[in-house]
Structures are given as C-alpha cells and as structure tokens.
Structure 1
C-alpha cells in the first residue's frame, strides 16, 4: 500500500510579502502541487488592524497562482499569525505531502491534513455555533490526514475570523446581535470558540457541556492541542491538523506538550526527549538542525501572577497582554532550543490551562542519533 510522506520547510521572511524562500524551494525541486498549508509569523501587532497577515496571504496566494493550475492556490490553507515581539523572528512554515514508500511496517510518521469551513455569520462568532462548525472541520481535516484516532492528533492550527464594525452592523441590519461590539474582544472570543471546537472534535470536552456564556469565561474548559489565531482577512476557518499516522512514512515526527504556565519548560523538554533529542541544556549542532518547527500558544495568566510573583501584562494600557505574552514565551522557548524562529501565537483562550498553553514540536528523526525508528 502506497503511503504519504510529509515535508516541512521553515524559511525566514525579510518582510510580510517576502516569499523568496518558498520560491527558491520550488526552483530547487519541491513540487508546488504538494503544498497543503503555509503557516507564518508576521511582524505586525497581532491585533484587529494587523494587516501584515492579509499582506502575507496576498503575496503567498499570488506566488502559488504562478505555480499551480487555476483554482489550485485557493485549496491551500494560509495561516498567518501576527506579532513577532521581542526577538521572535518572522518566518514561514511550508507543509507539504508527497507519495512515499510502502507503508507496510514503516511505522507511524508525521501526517498533515487540512480543511476549510464555510463562511461563518458574524453573529455566530464567539458562540456555540462556531464551536460546532470548527469541530466538524477538524474531523474533516483528520480524515484528510488519514488519522482515525484522536489520540494521535498532536496539534491543530486554526485561522478564525473576528468582528469588525462593519460585520457587527451587517448582523444588526439583519436583526441579529453580535456577541460583542468590541472588535478586539471578539478576537479572543473567536479564538476561544475555535479552540473549544478542537476540544470537542478530539474528545476533550463534550459539545453539550458548552454554552455561549462559558466561551471566553470558563478557564476550566480547554484543549491541550489547539492553537487558534484570529484575523480580519477571512470569515471562514482554515484548519490544519498535525499528528502521527501509520498510513504515512518518512523520518518526520511530531509530539506535543502543555505548559502549565509561561515558564513551564519541563513538559517541552520531555516532548523533545520522546522525539529522540538527547541534549543537556540548550539545543546545539545537529540536534538544533533536526528541529524543523516549534509551535506554541502564549497567554498572560488571569490572576496577574506567575508562580506567586506579580506581572503587569494585564495592567498595561499601551500594549495588549497578548503582545507581552508572545515575547515572554518566545524568549523562554528560544533559550531552550537555541534559535528564535518559533511560531508563538498570542491569546490562548481555552488553549491549555490559564496562563499556559500547548506546544508542538516537529522533528526530523533521521538527524537524531537517539531517535526511535
């Protein structure tokens, strides 16, 4: 039986519209028809008016249009996360798949699936209707990845919509009511509803246990594998599922961890070791090169304290707490892995415990002497 094999390429970005790294990969022989998704960290503010995300998507879409038949570029998921505060480095993650060797006896390997939902009505953003739609989309992406067991899903990256003043007015013109008129608050509610959709699809939370009033308010409901990012550039959901599947082959593998708070690196260390990293301290040399991608969520703890010490992320009226959290968690993880091309997404509503968040690691096991084969 023919298996599929995953390809993960991480390239730096000199600007939101810099697609030269991916263009170079195509020139070097990567088949553009195999691209499933492109994730990216862009250098905007990560808030409602962060148009670096749409700028990056536009540039990527034009690139793919040049390399694919008509309509092919529309099938790719473009998930841009704004905000590279601190020393986080803007970069792109290209996720592709190709035919691999026979899967017989090859064992599980990284599997990539994607799905796009229909457009969501503005009045459904941040409500249970969004949770249900995302759950259905996650299940579709799991099917696309040939992952039958939810336990084998290690990370679900979602780009979800947010409310603008115009979208609120559209709902009200039809006699509906948006969940909020605060466009910045809508980002968190959309991220939270999308994360709970992942939790429902993966069996972490029951749909019937969720009400509209709980979304964004009940921190006891969360997914350990969801990462959601809201943007003004879409009204649907672009969903990318990453996991392990025996239907896939090749050296790539993924594992995940859940940070209990913003400096909880021990679970991340444990995940690295499960993948075969044998480092003592910061990753260096070949082991650093074997780390293809590190994705994480960041959130300012609602108590205003971190292990008993006061933090001011929630009290800063000049800079959103999500921006502080991205920079802080990015620095913590960069100190662990030895570089700053890390996909840290701010705003972890229902994504891990309050103040913490999920982390995913993609590694090339062929470059790790201690890895299981």
Structure 2
C-alpha cells in the first residue's frame, strides 16, 4: 500500500521537466515519483512526437519502477501540464483514509496481440496484481489509467510478411483497437464484466464499459504502462477520489454533480481525469454532429476540445487531463470521469468519502 500526493505543474513544452524543481521545493525527490501523467501539445494521433519527446525527457530522470503516461492533444482551452503522483506514506491521524496508488507495466505486447485477447489479458492480469499489492478491493478503485502501444506501418508490414493479419491495417484505427483491449482488460480485472462479455465487446459490441478505465495509445512504448488509484482506510492523507461518467459530450451536469459531492465533503478539486469521444451514432441528443466525417481534423481532437472546455470550467483552469477516444471507457459517446480532491482534516465521524456517483 502506497499513499500518494499529487502535484500538477504547467509545462512550457513536451521536454519541460522543471516540475522536478517544484518536487524538491515540496520536500520530495525524483525517487519518490510513482508516475508522471501529462498532457502534451501534439495532435494526439499516430505521429504525435510530443509524447515521445516528453517520455524521453522524463524517463531518465525518474526511478526505474515509475511509469509515464503522456496523452497528446491540448486543443481548445486545455493547458499542457504534468501530474506527478508522489509516494508519501506519512501518517496523519487527522485523516481516516487517503489516496493510494500502484504502478506497473505489462510484458511487451507483440504486434499480433495488439487490440486482441492477448493485450486484454495482459492488462487484466497487471491491474489485478496492482490492486492486490495495494491491499484494497476492486470497489475501492476509482481510476485505472493505461498508456498502451499502437501499430506502426512497420508493424503492419512485418505481420503481413509473416502471414498474420493485424487487428487493423490502419495505424489510426489501431489506436482505438488498443484502447479498447486495454479498457476491457481493466473492466475484467475489476469484475465489471465477464470473459464472454469482454470477448464480444472486443469483437465490436459497445455494450460493455468501465467508468474507471482511462486508456490512451501511442508509438512511444511497446508495453502498457498502468496506474491504479484508489482510496484506502490504511492510508492517512488529505486526498480522496470519486468516479462517475459523462453520458455524452454535453453532460456538464455529471461534472457539476461530482463537484457538488466534493463540496459537500468540504473538499477542493485537485484534478479531473476525463475520457471523451465523438458519439459513434453520428448524433448527440438527436442532432447530427460532423466530428466523424471531418477530413481535416481527427474526431478525437474535436472531442478533446469540446469536453475539455466543460471540464476546465468545472475545475476552474485548463490543466485538466482530458483524453480522446473512449472505447469501453464509459458508455458510447460519453466517457469515464475520475475526480481527485483534497479535504481538510476534520475530527468528526467519517463522511461518505470516495463514494461512487
């Protein structure tokens, strides 16, 4: 079990690691970092080299067991930033619980397994292990964040040369296939779906999802980096978490309801982790949208900008983690939501902290 603190720091570019100065200014070192979770200002698509640059800048400066998760795309009002999850098991008796985190990696995902059962099971097993390591139940988990690989054109050619058809022959579509497999692995590990449902969903059904899954894909890695966040009574720190979902890209009410729960708990929002996607039906509340038919701008970029504005308005600034492409991460057209918040110590009976919505 590892208690954590959270630092959110704006960045001037993908290679900006000045947040390490903020880290030391708060009494921590790079060895205390469990995860660096950032938003970079690339296009968020296959050739988003801002993610690769950020990973290359950060990974030599943190411990070998720490993970990086960089999500490209800061369209609209989204602000480039990093979130540092810092190990801190300081016991504060004024708090009856606290936020805990565990990180890990799957084995290398072979290109032939990407977007398929092999990737799904690798994520399932890694998440399950991390939950056990934290000593919490699946119900205490409020976010599982995964960064997963995609298929490059070289991967696709190599598979076909070996007589293997890839999950997709389109590199951009492979990002969605990878996110889907990772998200279903998360749902399996948390007991939200069974194997038959997961396999049907992997084959294309959109009837299964997790409101605690957040997956993004990139070319900068060949394993899945995994971060599990939960709340434990064995920890004593001021951070809490809750999870919910947006039912569509307009669902400001869901975010406001989450903010109300935080306020009722006497808390302050520290960060939101939100998934966004263009509704695959082509409509939102009965009106046609053009995000899926725009040949100039990828649908994931539209979704990040739209949902990013709502999320930033609720938090009060644009340094929010909004990631595009929400396959099985919340219901179709919507997206999973996790709120991390901070409470003041209170010498009273525990409230319903960390509850689901």
TM-score under structure 2 length normalisation: 0.92
Query: What is residue 37 of structure 1 aligned with on the other side?
Result: 35
Which string of whole-angstrom CA distances, capped at 9 and with x for unpartnered residues, describes residues 84-124 of structure 1? Answer: 01110000000011222277x95331111111111011011
Query: What is residue 5 of structure 1 aligned with on the other side?
Result: 3
Distance of aligned partners of 1:13 and 1:136 in 2 relative to their CA distance in 1, 3 Å threshold: same
Distance of aligned partners of 1:245 and 1:229 in 2 relative to their CA distance in 1, 3 Å threshold: same
Q: How does 1:104-183 map to 2 (within 5 A)?
A: 106-147=95-136, 149-183=137-171
Query: What is residue 53 of structure 2 aligned with on the other side?
Result: 55
SS of the residue 1:362 aligns to: strand
Distance of aligned partners of 1:169 and 1:369 in 2 relative to their CA distance in 1, 3 Å threshold: farther
Alignment of 1:94 onto 2:84 = yes
Alignment of 1:75 onto 2:65 = yes
Query: What is residue 239 of structure 1 aligned with on the other side?
Result: 226
Does the CA contact (< 8 Å) of 1:276 and 1:365 recur in 2?
no
Which of 329, 335, 346 matches 1:351? 329
Does the CA contact (< 8 Å) of 1:160 and 1:230 recur in 2?
yes
SS of the residue 1:155 aligns to: strand
Paired residues, what number?
A: 351
**How far apart in 2 are the matches of 1:215 and 1:303?**
18
Structure 1 stretches of 4+ moved >6 Å: 367-371
Distance of aligned partners of 1:38 and 1:368 in 2 relative to their CA distance in 1, 3 Å threshold: farther
Which of 210, 213, 220 matches 2:198? 210
Across the aligned residues of Structure 1 and Structure 2, the Cα RMSD in angstroms comes to 2.3
Structure 1 alignment gaps of length 5 or more: 65-72, 280-286
**How far apart in 2 are the matches of 1:85 and 1:364?**
27
CA shift for structure 1 position 125:
0.6
Query: What is residue 312 of structure 2 aligned with on the other side?
Result: 334
**How far apart in 2 are the matches of 1:369 and 1:291?**
21
Distance of aligned partners of 1:216 and 1:368 in 2 relative to their CA distance in 1, 3 Å threshold: farther
SS of the residue 1:132 aligns to: helix
Does the CA contact (< 8 Å) of 1:11 and 1:22 recur in 2?
no
Query: What is residue 20 of structure 1 aligned with on the other side?
Result: 18
Does the CA contact (< 8 Å) of 2:2 and 2:102 recur in 1?
no
SS of the residue 2:313 aligns to: helix
Moved more, 150-159 or 305-314: 305-314
CA shift for structure 1 position 357:
0.6
Does the CA contact (< 8 Å) of 2:181 and 2:202 recur in 1?
yes
